[in-house]
Amino acid sequence: MKLLGTSKAVLAMLKARSSVSSVGGGGLRMLTGQVALVTGASRGIGKGIALQLGKAGATVYITGRTPQQQEKALTRLLRPPSLDETASEITARGGKGIAVYCDHSDEKNVKELFRRIAKEQKEQLDILVNNAYAAVTAITRSAGSKFYNTELSIWDTVNSVGLRNHYICSVFASKLMVPRKRGLIVTVSSSGGLHYLFGTAYGVGKAACDRLAADMAHELIEDNVASVSLWPGPVATELVKKTVLAGSGNRKNTLREIYETAETTEMAGKCVVALASDPNRLAKTGHILTTTALAREYHLHEDDGKTQPNDPFCAGHEDFLRQMNEVRAPKHKKGHPLAHVQTRYEAFRNYHL
């Protein structure tokens, strides 16, 4: 199978990484010297991404709410993990974990976060992963309710620490990346942006996240900064294990069957590391990327060395996603796929009302 847009060098590095061992189990440190920020990384997909970035040798800032804030937001089935514990685990994997408690609904808090990174890392930020999300409990409770029977506050709960915060973080991150002419912004979204899932507010928010990533790509590509939207498949997060997968499993249901073969929280992290390590990642800027497709392209597997993600929600929609990426993403001029770029942004930037 032909691997489109994939560097042979990065595939060789990824293969070596899977077979090389070192102190702390880190393997090949492909991101040594790079600085990353993963928002909402105390648990779940964010934590999995942060751990893999650490394993690749990066300095990783992780954010999360204080234990008191998490206790209010989460079901009591799940003890809020310690952000400091996660930072320590990142360091043990071979990187450097730095925990920052941050309320992403507070713009001043977010601005201070980026000021700190700029000061401590001498204006360097190579990777931003937009993952913070405050609506896990809200969408679970409202699932099955029609939008007109749901509290109006669901819109802000879903799209404040989510879409709006992703935009704000991307603004501050870009101010650090653009002057250095390098960077990668990954916005974690889901197939809920493609088809109905959880509810109206959720679907609109995820579709907007995908459009955010695509439109930012038009305005960042000339400065060598890539922006993509990442769709993990069903993921066996801590909460899923405590709820959907809990019990003896004698009683089967559709949701349980889906999550019994779910990907781990670290598969998305392996995909982010592969993207960040790929010198041709700008060819993917503006795209919706699924963990299923990236795992096949970059030869990524779960820790058993065999299993690859297979998102049932995206099955059969691959051509549609490809067509949507072709429409939304920046277009490269013929003959110079990366050096000289023609984007829709160029057509409008000298036009003023």
Residue 281's pLDDT is what? Answer: 96
For 20-29, 254-263, 312-321, which range has the lowest pLDDT when averaged over its residues?
20-29
Give 30's contacts (C-beta < 8 A, 6+ positions apart). 13, 17, 56, 57, 273, 276, 277
Whether 345 is a known active-site residue: answer no
Phi, psi of 262 (to 5 degrees): -70, 155
The mean predicted confidence, pLDDT, of the chain is 82
Coil/strand/helix, residue 70: helix
Is 47 in contact with 84 (CB distance < 8 Å)?
Answer: no
Would you tell me how many other CB atoms lie within 10 Å of the CB of residue 320?
A: 11
Chain-centroid distance of CA 46 in Å reads 7
Ordered DSSP codes for 298-349: HT---TTSS-----TTTTT-HHHHHHHHHHHSPEEPTT-TTTSEE-HHHHHT
Given the structure tokens 């049932």, which residue do they identify? 312
Chain-centroid distance of CA 108 in Å reads 23
Give 36's contacts (C-beta < 8 A, 6+ positions apart). 50, 53, 58, 59, 60, 61, 125, 126, 127, 128, 129, 276
Is 50 exceeded by the pLDDT of residue 253?
yes
Ordered DSSP codes for 154-215: HHHHHHIIIIIHHHHHHHHHHHHHGGGT-EEEEEE--GGGTS--S-HHHHHHHHHHHHHHHH
- Selecting among 101, 133, 148, 202, the annotated active-site residue is 202
Please state the CATH superfamily assignment of the domain spanning residues 15-348 in this structure: NAD(P)-binding Rossmann-like Domain (3.40.50.720)
Task: Please write the tens of the pLDDT for every residue from 38-83.
Answer: 999 988 899 999 999 999 999 999 999 776 555 555 554 456 568 9
Is 60 exceeded by the pLDDT of residue 278?
yes
Is 80 exceeded by the pLDDT of residue 28?
no
Given the structure tokens 């440190």, which residue do they identify? 29
**Tokens representing residue 288 in the block:** 């919706």
**Tokens representing residue 195 in the block:** 């088809």
pTM of the complete model beyond 0.75: yes
